[in-house]
Amino acid sequence: MRHSIYIVFLGVFLVACSGEQKSEDHSAHASSSQARPTNTNSLMLTDSQVKLANITTQKVSMKPVGQTQLLNGVLAVDEENSQVISSRISGRIEKLFLKETGKPIKQGEHLYEIYSEELLTLQREFLLAKEQFESLGKQEPRYESFYKTAERKLLLYGMNASQVEQLKRSGMQQQRITFYSPASGIVTEINVGEGQYVSEGAQLYRIENTSRLWVEAELYPNEVRFVKTGDRVGVRVSGFESEPLEAKVIFLSPEYRANTQIMVMRGVIANSDLKFKPGMQAQVLFTHSTRNALSVPVDAVIRDEKGTHVYVESGKNTFEPRMVRTGIEDFDQVEIMEGLKENEVIAATGAYLLYSEFVLKQGVDPMAGHHH
């Protein structure tokens, strides 16, 4: 399927380029035909074809290459980044501004309204202390201390600075006090209803801050030695494979299942735009056993039923397929055990398009009859 898609695309860009070739003058045609390689296993492209197919080249060189390990994982809430919101004071919940779980909320948004006899008493004490301070404070400094203490109590029991300021200006007690969200995140629990009486310390909401998430995966005993706390691993979230992430391993925990010790690996990923949700499937990738080896980019290697090959540049815009034997590979590089020498130039990108054009022109697999 993948090859057929490339073949269709090649047909389009070859047709697009043929018009340009027809417009070239006769001498350019003659020059081109003289330069065309006699090797029937070679492909010569025009500059336009190379550009349209995004074919780039690079030299074969020695680079660090490791073995890539791929694990299935899942995104989870960072429990260290969640917050339980409990009632600061006893009273009756008059209004819930958020009544459904799973809804996002921002820090400072309305959360609930409460009617509290205790808060009304504290407000009265504050207004009395304020009045005494304003009339007697110059003669008796202790009234300032009473006033400041009454203000601190209001703040301690959940009124914010602007609510206290409004109380100062109006001199009127507020029957119902609005409480605001102390954090941004997703509301995952609501443990109260409107009209319900709550005591001080009662749990009302749970808010999960998802700007940072955990990714968790399981390691088998033979894989544990390759990962340690503090390592950086690659993460690809299902549906967002084109946006690779990096996670820092923060925890390794052994678990015993069916007489086998499984190690649960936990990493942290950033999620500032909140696009990733807890429960999403992911792949965790890490590289181990790294060594310096003759290597080429992963995209340069073509694999089919005949084996593995790359396209070597034999002249300007001219490529020929060559069978290779590969070794270990990681995210970016493939080790070449046989078939290439250092400093030879290969097609680093666009190799599948070269493969497709060869099939179109020759009608056969480029490596038919070749064996390593």
Q: Exposed (0-12), middle (13-18) or buried (19+): which is 156, by Cβ within 10 Å?
A: exposed
Q: Are 283 and 263 in contact (CB under 8 A)?
A: no
The continuous run of DSSP H or E covering 27 comes out as helix 26-35
CATH no., domain 68-78+210-288: 2.40.30.170
pLDDT tens digit sequence for 19-41: 444 444 333 333 333 334 445 67
Q: Are 190 and 198 in contact (CB under 8 A)?
A: no
Is residue 273 predicted with pLDDT exceeding 50?
yes
User: How many Cβ atoms from other residues are within 10 Å of residue 106's Cβ?
Assistant: 10
Longest dimension (CA), the chain: 110
Instruction: Note the CATH architecture for domain 86-208.
Output: Beta Barrel (2.40)
Q: Exposed (0-12), middle (13-18) or buried (19+): which is 247, by Cβ within 10 Å?
A: buried
**Mean pLDDT within 340-349:** 90
The pTM of this model reads 0.54
Question: 3-state DSSP: the chain helix, strand, coil percent, rounded to 5?
Answer: 30, 40, 30
Q: Exposed (0-12), middle (13-18) or buried (19+): which is 334, by Cβ within 10 Å?
A: buried
pLDDT at 258: 63
pLDDT tens digit sequence for 151-203: 999 999 989 999 999 999 999 999 999 999 988 888 989 999 999 999 999 99
CA angle, 64 then 304 then 60, to 5°: 30
Provide the residue type at 344 as one letter.
E
**Mean pLDDT within 130-135:** 90
Q: Could you tell me which residues are beta bridge partners of residue 335?
A: 295
Tell me how far apart the alpha carbons of residues 43 and 76 are, in angstroms, rounded to a whole number: 50
The confidence band for 370, taking pLDDT boundaries of 50, 70 and 90, is low
The confidence band for 136, taking pLDDT boundaries of 50, 70 and 90, is confident
Q: Are 57 and 346 in contact (CB under 8 A)?
A: yes
Residues 6+ apart with CB under 8 A from 99: 190
Report CA Rg, the chain.
35
Where do the structural domains in the chain lie, given as residue ranges?
Answer: 2-67+291-362, 68-78+210-288, 86-208
pLDDT at 75: 94
pLDDT tens digit sequence for 217-232: 988 877 887 888 898 8
Tell me how far apart the alpha carbons of residues 339 and 327 are, in angstroms, rounded to a whole number: 12
Q: Could you tell me which residues are beta bridge partners of residue 267?
A: 215, 249
Is residue 87 predicted with pLDDT exceeding 50?
yes
pLDDT tens digit sequence for 284-332: 888 766 778 888 888 889 888 778 889 999 899 889 999 999 887 777 7
**Mean pLDDT within 238-243:** 86
Q: Determine the 3-state secondary structure of 172 from DSSP.
A: coil
Is residue 354 predicted with pLDDT exceeding 50?
yes
Tell me how far apart the alpha carbons of residues 251 and 228 are, in angstroms, rounded to a whole number: 8
- For 195, the token pair is 């009209």
Q: Are 334 and 325 in contact (CB under 8 A)?
A: no
In this structure, the dihedral spanned by the alpha carbons of residues 65, 71, 74 and 77, taken in order and rounded to 10 degrees, is: -60
- Is-same-fold flag (2-67+291-362; 86-208)? no
Higher pLDDT, 263 or 22: 263
Provide the residue type at 20 as one letter.
E
2-67+291-362 CATH fold:
2.40.420
